[in-house]
Amino acid sequence: MNISNNTILITGGSAGIGFEIAQQLSAQGNQVIITGRNAERLQTAVAKLKNATAIVSDISSADDVSKLVTELNEKFPQLNIVINNAGYAASPYQLLPGVATFEQAAAEIQTNYLAVLRLNEWLLPLLNKQPQAAIVNVSSIVAFAPSINIPGYSISKAALHAYSRVLRITLKNTPVRVFELMPPLVNTEFSKEIGGEKGIPASQVAAELLEGLKNDVYEIHVGNTAGMYQLYLSSPENALQALNSNE
């Protein structure tokens, strides 16, 4: 995949992994469009980027996504890469008796899986018009081995992983390639409640994404995810125990 001269949408692009991806891709000569719910944060982010546009949009809102897709078709008809980075994690909780879990899990499934499916569905006609296009779904190491402290998030990322695999096969005879970026724990504000300060820098995740895109690595296992994947292949139970060993 060519990693320059593209027009790229990055959801959740104002901070963390999304912003680092935007920085590195804009530096490669791409036109970057970042979205997020916070207008002030978006404007601060876009001011630090080259050849970038900010659009306020909540991917969990059907109305917002409809407006976003209309604007992209009108103003960026050359859009050829979509990076589904926006995500949501409730405060840590466990599936214990007496713990209210439904609302948290529903919000996580809605943002991390269903909203991604909807945005991809609505943008596929535009992507399919391009000579070369790509969808990048950002999942997680917990798609292989779920965490007992973030169960809804883990399950939503497992759903996104399965969806990415199905979509990749489905679109194999189209111009649209499907990538999945699978980071481990990353040191961002997003992961602060689950010990994010112990994680890898977001810049490393972005760099490994660019390398994976360039070399057509469709499932990009960042950092410790590579080792966890190999452990999962040999023993899913051992992988589960390893990820939860410090919980």
pLDDT in tens, 33-78: 999 999 999 999 999 999 999 999 999 999 999 999 999 999 999 9
> Is residue 56 in a domain?
yes
Instruction: Tell me if 55 sits within 8 A of 68, measured CB to CB.
Output: yes
> Is residue 229 in a domain?
yes
Q: Is residue 153 flagged as an active site residue?
A: yes
Q: Which pairs count as long-range contacts for 161-170, CB under 8 Å and 24+ apart, including other chains? A: 163/113, 163/116, 163/117, 163/137, 164/137, 164/139, 164/219, 167/120, 167/135, 168/218
> Is residue 162 in a domain?
yes
> Is residue 142 in a domain?
yes
Contacts of 56 (CB under 8 A, 6+ apart): 35, 36, 37, 38, 39, 42
**Could you report the per-residue pLDDT of 103-143, keeping only the tens digit for each?**
999 999 999 999 999 999 999 999 999 999 999 999 999 99
> Is residue 1 in a domain?
no
> Is residue 216 in a domain?
yes
Q: How large is the C-alpha radius of gyration of the chain?
A: 17
Question: Of 88, 153, 163, 232, which one is the catalytic site residue?
Answer: 153
**Could you report the per-residue pLDDT of 163-181, keeping only the tens digit for each?**
999 999 999 999 999 999 9
Residue range of the domain that includes 150: 7-243
Domain count, the chain: 1
> Is residue 55 in a domain?
yes
> Is residue 2 in a domain?
no
Which phi and psi (to 5°) does residue 190 adopt? -55, -40
- The CATH number given to whatever domain includes residue 171 is 3.40.50.720
Instruction: Tell me if 120 sits within 8 A of 84, measured CB to CB.
Output: yes
